[in-house]
Amino acid sequence: MKQIRCIAVDDEPMALEKLESYIRRLPFLELVALCESPLEAVQVMTGQRVDALFVDINMPDLNGMELVSSLPDPPMVVFTTAYAEYAAESYRFPAVDYLLKPFDFADFQRAAGRLLKQASLASARQAVPDEDYLLVKDGYKYVSIRTTDILYIQGMRDYAQIHVEGRKPVMAGTSMAQIREKLPPCFMQVHRSWIVNVRKVREIERMRIVIGGERIPVGDNYKQQFLDFLRLHTLDKEK
């Protein structure tokens, strides 16, 4: 049986103790760490593989939804909270399930079962070679582009200009929304006209992203998400 490596994130020690107890009762779950803050969780995920995240929504400084939205490649997520009003908002995120405190083992087992089902589906998909490329119509021809080679994408009215390492930009007759749906999680929209591959970022200065020789602005509507991303991935944090 596939082991699902998971971490639990909650600022309440008793809540973490309950999650630890429940996780250890299911043989297909492997507890990697118990974290009292989102920043601690990011440090764990940076150093090792994590398949699933049990995370409380209502936490100080950075809540659970902000944590998930800041991750370029988030694991499977189960949200937990004592506040029912967060339920509708949490479903805007790609969460596997939602647990309302106080939840019992039966509730937890249901959520864990959904994690197992999703993990099994992912394993089945991995049996087929990954389609890590985009097939883009450029004028009268089709061009194959590896997503790992894409630096950034610039929206230009009804077109998107795809900037790729080692070759000329490709002009695709598609909208930013359409192309964003086909990109892996390491791509982040930082402006209504710009999507960047966060793995290709060279430096960031005054809300300008330097990548591939271009200085890309961060738009006002995307600034908070980008700041959350920076806060979680900066090693030398300001006191």
Residue 68 is encoded by which pair of tokens? 């998930």
The mean pLDDT value of the chain amounts to 85
Confidence of residue 89 (pLDDT cuts 50, 70, 90): low
Among left, alpha and beta (phi > 0; psi -120 to 50; other), residue 129 is: beta
Cα(52)–Cα(8) distance, integer angstroms: 9
The pLDDT, as a whole number, for residue 129 is: 45
Cα(237)–Cα(226) distance, integer angstroms: 15
The pLDDT, as a whole number, for residue 186 is: 85
Find which of 89-93, 109-113, 117-121, 122-126 is predicted with most confidence, using mean pLDDT: 109-113
**DSSP readout, 148-187?**
GGEEEEEEETTEEEEEETTS--EEESS-HHHHHHTS-TTE
Cα(80)–Cα(73) distance, integer angstroms: 20
Residue 205 has pLDDT above 50, yes or no: yes
Q: What is the mean pLDDT of residues 223-232?
A: 82
Nearest Cα residue to 5 out of 69, 72, 54, 59:
54
For 143-184, write each residue's pLDDT tens digit. Answer: 888 888 999 999 987 789 999 998 889 988 888 888 888 888
The pLDDT, as a whole number, for residue 25 is: 96
Cβ atoms of 30 and 5 within 8 Å: the answer is yes
Residue 234 has pLDDT above 80, yes or no: no
DSSP letter, residue 91 = T
The residue with greater pLDDT, 65 or 25, is: 25
